[in-house]
Structure 1
Amino acid sequence: MSAKASPLILALGWIALPLLAQEVTQVSPPAAKPAEKAAFEFHDGDKVVLLGNTVFEREQRFGSLEPRLALALGDTKVSMRNLAWSADTVFGHARSYFGPPEEGLQRLTGHLELLKPSVVMLCYGSELAFEKLGGLPDFLTGYRNLLELIRKHAPGARIIIVSPPPLETLPPPLPDQTDANKSLSSFRDALRKFALSQNTYFIDLFELMGGVPKPGVIVKPLTENGVHYTREGYDKLSTKLVEGLGLAIPTVAPAELDPIRREVLAKDELFFNRFRPQNETYLFGFRKHEQGQNAKEIPMFDPLIDQADGKIQAAKAALLAGKKQL
């Protein structure tokens, strides 16, 4: 018999090849799913400091974030201090008062050394929405310097970087925010890479809050003016922030949160007066020769703030205990 294959055998071989390929495909294991992002790990006794501009500073008006985070952490107890400053930048412009930005960073240094945070959550960069990303290189340099400052004066602090949330287009005469949101989307992409390079935890609040909105006027706004969030806006923003940390908030009615929220608002007011007294120029500045003797009263806020922390934890424990009994 000839060693050369006959045409019939060759034809049968060509028919069998697709069948074999199909059989191999069927028995191949399914492709592995991408690994889910690990939850941020909080430790009992953590002190969380919020740093940023208006997005974070205005949160203390509503007390939305801390109650939700407290419930999501269950028996783990953490405290929160809001060091955010409206219109501030990574360079320290707003918190510098009348001096250069360096003065603002010096003030921040003092606050970090006082508080000794173990977790710092930052939200900066909203201004990049209107600068068409022209200032992005300088911004990232400033952000890197700010992180170095935090790590120097709060050694061991774990850092969370949060992207700014989207803006809303409201009826005229308020502006259309379409282009600004496109800039924020591109900025978010750059910030994600930066956060990874700095070995920090990243929360994409821009996408969690809906990403680039559809063109046109927002039907049910969560902001007062397209930029500043309302109480309902902060309730959603806070919920998404906690989800971005990889945590789950127990199901509670809004009214059930009110006892914790009230204690948080009281604590935040005490802390605001502690670190930003209205007459600081007279207490510590160039007019301290007039009322500087009253500066000794400012540290007296500290035990009151600690007591307020205890009331927050007690209100949380009462709510969780009630849930367990149901």
Structure 2
Amino acid sequence: MKTLFILVLIYFSAGFTTAIEFKNEEKVVLLGNTFIERDVNFGHIETHLALALSEKRPTFRNLGWSGDTVYCHARSYFGPPQEGFARLKKHIQFLKPTLVLMCYGAVSSFEGEPGLGSFLEGYKRLMAMIRSTSGARIVLVSPPPCETLGFPLPNMEPQNKRLALYSEAIKKLAAEENCNFVNLFEALGAGKKRLIPPVTINGLHFSEQGYKKVAVALGDGLKVKGPNVDLPNKEKLRKIVMEKNKLFFNRWRPQNETYLHGFRKHEQGNNAKEIPQFDPLVANKDKKIQEIALSLSAK
């Protein structure tokens, strides 16, 4: 009995949770800062997961926002910073996700240990909002490591130490909140070894090749593995994914929002009515992605 108790204690202290059981027609939202948003331009994460989960016919929506933190201040426009949190809540209400992959900590980690308490408090508040708004299950994903690429770029070892601290705290938070946890920081080397070729363009922002590694690491962390698909067919699928991403980006973050929904909307007529017209276009791309992924998985 004593041995069993120790094993259970080790299990939960390590932050392990029950394996994710993916649902049919899962509505997945990718939520985070620059790291998440930039995959809109590459589509590797969604392509990898779409193939791995093809029989479930999932859909994906990227709600990443550059410079964002768990307080969502970067998402505000002309109002106060707190407006960003309410804006995200509206997007969650609209999308009704069933699963949210959250990746925060990269920005907040620059504050080091003094900022950790505020970060965790904000993360809990954000998770509570998502759960109460949509009922979605949540997976917490640690921020990835930085790379030291040499002069004239800075040594990122101090930042990786801060990222390690925040990643460990996120793992403990996942256990407390009964969430699954994916440790991208460790999976991508924790910044301990310089990768050849590099996976970032500047030590901080991931390259296209970097996102290929991220996609595999995230899939491994979620315990899903896609079929072996030849590069031409995989690129065909990724092309559709990127087309869908562009359509959805223009749907939820249209340019000149001041003229669409803000204080100057009266100047150009009711242009806002055109924004929902993106919805059937996005849905059509979703269908194509599902069909291609399923056909490639069946080969």
Aligned to 1:108: 88
Task: Look at both structures and tell me which one has the larger radius of gyration over its CA atoms.
Answer: 1
CA distance in 2, matches of 1:309, 1:83: 16
Aligned to 2:263: 286
2:253 aligned with 1:276, yes or no?
Answer: yes
Which ranges of structure 2 fall in alignment gaps of 5 or more residues? 1-6
Question: Cα RMSD between the aligned structures?
Answer: 1.9
Instruction: Give runs of aligned pairs for residues 310-325 of structure 1, distance below 5 A.
Output: 310-321=287-298, 323=299
Q: 1:128 to 1:106 in 2, by over 3 A?
A: closer
Task: Provide, for residues 57-92 of structure 1, a one-character-per-residue CA deviation record: whole Å limited to 9, x for no partner.
Answer: 001100101111111124111000001101011111
Aligned to 2:69: 89
- Shift of residue 314 of structure 1? 1.6
Aligned to 2:57: 77
CA distance in 2, matches of 1:297, 1:128: 37
CA distance in 1, matches of 2:276, 2:116: 39
Contact kept, 8 Å, 2:109 with 2:115, in 1: the verdict is no
Q: Percent identity?
A: 50
CA distance in 2, matches of 1:292, 1:121: 38
CA distance in 2, matches of 1:102, 1:251: 45
- Shift of residue 266 of structure 1? 0.7
The counterpart of 2:23, out of the listed 43, 55, 74, is: 43
CA distance in 2, matches of 1:111, 1:159: 16
Instruction: Give runs of aligned pairs for residues 15-26 of structure 1, distance below 5 A.
Output: none
Contact kept, 8 Å, 1:128 with 1:183, in 2: the verdict is no
- The TM-score normalised by the length of structure 2 is 0.92
Contact kept, 8 Å, 2:19 with 2:180, in 1: the verdict is no
- The TM-score normalised by the length of structure 1 is 0.84
Aligned to 2:183: 204
CA distance in 1, matches of 2:24, 2:62: 19
Question: In structure 2, what residue type is equivalent to 1:72?
Answer: A
2:144 aligned with 1:165, yes or no?
Answer: yes
Instruction: Give runs of aligned pairs for residues 228-267 of structure 1, distance below 5 A.
Output: 228-267=205-244
Which ranges of structure 1 fall in alignment gaps of 5 or more residues? 1-31
CA distance in 2, matches of 1:212, 1:303: 42
Task: Provide, for residues 253-311 of structure 1, a one-character-per-residue CA deviation record: whole Å limited to 9, x for no partner.
Answer: 33331111011001100000000000111100111121350100001111111111011
2:35 aligned with 1:55, yes or no?
Answer: yes
CA distance in 2, matches of 1:74, 1:313: 7
Any idea what SS the aligned residue of 2:139 has?
Answer: strand
Question: In structure 1, what residue type is equivalent to 2:235?
Answer: D
